[in-house]
């Protein structure tokens, strides 16, 4: 069986990481105040590499919580779908962002809502090396004409 090379897109993230988070305190209201906090992430592949899951510890100023990213690759569309499972709302997987990697950058989009209003969501994976990576989330109220980056995560491979 031929394995689609795109199934390896998230192999860089397998293992254990320390994470520095930088997140806007409020989204899509013109807020410029950021909060910074630490955390960890551990990722393992599933389904012979066609999916993966990571376990995250987020040490926010208001308290520590856990979350998981669940990713699945669809060979028919050559796209990844990514869901976020938050321990504070364990009943809600939300809408997946869907996309792919091109030229070393992963770009993923979703149509979602924020405070009852429709928004576009964008995830970007950039600056990927064997020892580090960067993820960022942005929201758009105008269908993607303009974006507000509201969360940045910097990953550093944890020393074993």
User: For 39-86, what is each residue's pLDDT tens digit?
Assistant: 999 999 999 999 999 999 999 999 999 999 999 999 999 999 999 999
- The secondary structure of residue 131, as a DSSP letter, is S
pLDDT over 70 (residue 101): yes
SS3 (DSSP) at 58: strand
> What backbone torsions phi and psi does residue 104 show, to the nearest 5 degrees?
85, 0
In this prediction the pTM is 0.93
Output the pLDDT for position 1: 52
Euclidean distance between CA atoms 58 and 23, whole angstroms: 12
Which tens digits make up the pLDDT trace of 111-128? 999 999 999 999 999 999
Q: Which domains does the chain have, with CATH numbers?
A: 5-157 (2.40.128.20)
- Helix and strand counts by DSSP (H, E) for the chain: 0, 10
Q: Which residues partner with 72 through β-bridges? A: 51, 81
């Amino acid at each position: 069986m031929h394995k689609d090379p795109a199934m390896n897109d998230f192999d860089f993230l397998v293992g254990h990481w320390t994470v520095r988070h930088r997140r806007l305190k409020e989204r899509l209201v013109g807020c410029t105040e950021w909060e910074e906090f630490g955390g960890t992430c551990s990722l393992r592949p599933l389904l012979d590499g066609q999916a993966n899951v990571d376990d995250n510890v987020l040490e926010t100023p208001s308290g520590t919580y856990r979350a998981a990213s669940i990713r699945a690759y669809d060979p028919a569309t050559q796209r990844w779908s990514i869901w976020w499972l938050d321990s504070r709302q364990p009943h809600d997987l939300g809408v997946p962002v869907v996309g792919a990697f091109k030229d070393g950058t992963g770009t993923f989009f979703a149509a979602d809502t924020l405070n009852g209003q429709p928004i576009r969501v964008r995830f970007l994976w950039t600056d990927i090396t064997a020892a580090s990576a960067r993820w960022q989330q942005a929201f758009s109220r105008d269908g993607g004409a303009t974006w507000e980056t509201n969360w940045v995560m910097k990953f550093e491979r944890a020393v074993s």
